[in-house]
């Protein structure tokens, strides 16, 4: 084989499997051990010291304890890191656990007490930051306001692009340039590593709610952060202390799903692009939010390799139309979450973004669609019939 870098489609299939041949296996072995036999006190203790401070287990001391290290999780982490062009990745029990560790490790743990957060963000992330639970003071701002918001005690800048739920795009490289060296956390959940690699643009951490596209089948809750080896050490220390390691069965499912992530993303994105175009002509729809439709800075193409598979719409009939639409769809499931093989519909103001202060909560006339792998004609027909049943459209 030549030395040219492997295509991401190939990486998705092969990454994190380098020890399979030596183990004589073809699927990732699931290690469910909650504790591990120790060779002796000295070596076991040295390994404990290494892992509990965020390092790797020492070969002669073993993995010690299931809250500190798990080899099935480590294989998934290795695979995700390769897809994200990162030295390492760190997997957590949920996306929110990952966000919590990212904030704690860059604020309280290093004596910094301020975070700059670019809105919009996923409602849970916004809620966590706004709650004050983690002891950090937060300045919420828009992308252009980041330089003015940074203080000497700012430990972290948090942003999400495309952002949940209105698919707003943030120029990652521009934020990094104005960050004055402050670490930048990018929530890359909507784009996945296939469409966007924040670390290549200077970001410090690329975070995933792996519950979404990486899991892809609606059966795993998980989070992960791709980053440098040094940052991974800081994150693992917090993970070990606070107890938020991903469960090995979940890691197995995530690793098992990675090989199909590129084809899933490709088809789901194509379905979403076609639906976004179709919805623009529907009289029941006032605005279509889809990356690339309104993108004067050309972020899709420059920063993202496509618009992704999420579409949001503003309905001409307001909240009444939104309520009717969620009840009228037949193929789309009315449910929160996103990124799976089946299409979902939900009302952000009432659900995913409910905890937000009213002045920044998404409009009551906005509906979010996660586009799945179903046939595009079936999806289009379902949305068209459901939109025709909304009050505004029905009265036309």
Ligand X SMILES: Cc1ncc(COP(=O)(O)O)c(C=O)c1O
Q: Which is nearer to ligand X, 51 or 261 (CB)?
A: 261
Least distance between ligand X and beta carbon 90 (Å): 14
* Sheet containing strand 114-118, strands side by side: 88-92, 223-227, 205-209, 184-187, 154-160, 114-118, 137-141
Contact footprint for ligand X (CB under 6 A): 94-96, 122, 124-125, 160, 164, 187, 189, 209, 211, 221, 223
Asked about 187 being catalytic, the answer comes back as yes
CB atoms within 10 A of CB 32: 11
Alpha helices in the chain (DSSP H): 8-14, 20-23, 41-52, 71-83, 95-106, 123-131, 146-149, 172-177, 192-195, 229-242, 248-257, 261-280, 299-302, 318-328, 376-388, 391-394
Distance CA 234, CA 255 (A): 23
Least distance between ligand X and beta carbon 259 (Å): 21
Q: Which residues contact 181 (CB under 8 A, 6 or more apart)?
A: none
Q: Is 317 strand, coil or helix?
A: coil
Least distance between ligand X and beta carbon 98 (Å): 8
Distance of CA 115 to the CA centre of its chain: 19
Check 19, 46, 67, 200 and give the catalytic one: 67
Check 212, 236, 237, 273 and give the catalytic one: 212
Q: Which is nearer to ligand X, 171 or 187 (CB)?
A: 187
Distance CA 255, CA 311 (A): 27
Q: Which is nearer to ligand X, 192 or 234 (CB)?
A: 192
Least distance between ligand X and beta carbon 70 (Å): 18
Q: Which is nearer to ligand X, 160 or 168 (CB)?
A: 160
Check 48, 65, 122, 252 and give the catalytic one: 122
Asked about 239 being catalytic, the answer comes back as no
Asked about 112 being catalytic, the answer comes back as no
Q: Which is nearer to ligand X, 96 or 324 (CB)?
A: 96
Least distance between ligand X and beta carbon 99 (Å): 6
Asked about 274 being catalytic, the answer comes back as no
For ligand X, the nearest residue by Cβ is 95
Q: Which residues are catalytic?
A: 67, 122, 187, 212
């Amino acid at each position: 084989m030549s030395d040219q870098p492997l295509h991401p489609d190939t990486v998705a299939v092969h990454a994190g499997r380098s020890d399979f041949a030596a183990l004589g296996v073809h699927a990732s072995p699931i290690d469910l051990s909650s504790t591990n036999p120790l060779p002796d006190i000295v070596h076991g203790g040295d390994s404990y010291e290494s892992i509990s401070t965020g390092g790797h287990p020492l070969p002669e001391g073993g993995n010690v304890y299931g809250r500190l290290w798990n080899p099935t999780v480590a294989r998934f982490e290795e695979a995700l890191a390769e897809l994200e062009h990162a030295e390492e990745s760190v997997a957590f029990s949920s996306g929110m656990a990952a966000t919590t560790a990212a904030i704690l490790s860059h604020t309280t743990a290093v004596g910094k007490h301020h975070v700059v957060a670019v809105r919009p963000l996923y409602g849970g992330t916004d809620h966590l930051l706004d709650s004050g639970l983690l002891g950090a003071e937060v300045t919420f701002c828009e992308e252009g306001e980041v330089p003015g918001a940074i203080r000497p005690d700012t430990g972290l800048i948090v942003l999400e692009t495309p952002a949940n739920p209105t698919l707003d795009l943030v120029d990652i490289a521009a934020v990094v340039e104005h960050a004055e060296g402050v670490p930048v956390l990018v929530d890359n959940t909507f784009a996945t590593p296939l469409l966007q690699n924040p670390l290549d643009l200077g970001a410090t951490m690329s975070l995933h709610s792996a519950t979404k596209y990486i899991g892809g089948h609606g059966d795993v809750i998980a989070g992960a952060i791709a980053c440098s080896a040094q940052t991974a050490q800081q994150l693992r220390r917090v993970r070990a202390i606070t107890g938020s390691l991903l469960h090995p069965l979940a890691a197995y499912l995530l690793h098992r799903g990675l090989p199909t992530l590129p084809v899933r993303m490709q088809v789901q994105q194509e379905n979403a692009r076609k639906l976004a175009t179709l919805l623009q002509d529907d009289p029941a729809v006032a605005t279509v939010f889809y990356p690339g439709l309104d993108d004067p800075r050309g972020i899709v193409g420059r920063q993202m390799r496509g618009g992704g598979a999420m579409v949001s719409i503003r309905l001409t009939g307001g909240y009444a139309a939104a309520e009717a639409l969620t009840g009228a769809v037949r193929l789309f499931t009315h449910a929160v979450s996103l990124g799976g093989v089946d299409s979902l519909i939900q009302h952000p103001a009432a659900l995913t973004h409910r905890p937000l202060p009213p002045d920044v909560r998404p409009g009551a006339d906005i509906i979010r669609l996660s586009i799945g792998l179903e046939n595009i004609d079936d999806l289009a027909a379902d949305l068209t019939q459901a939109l025709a049943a909304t009050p505004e459209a029905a009265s036309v």
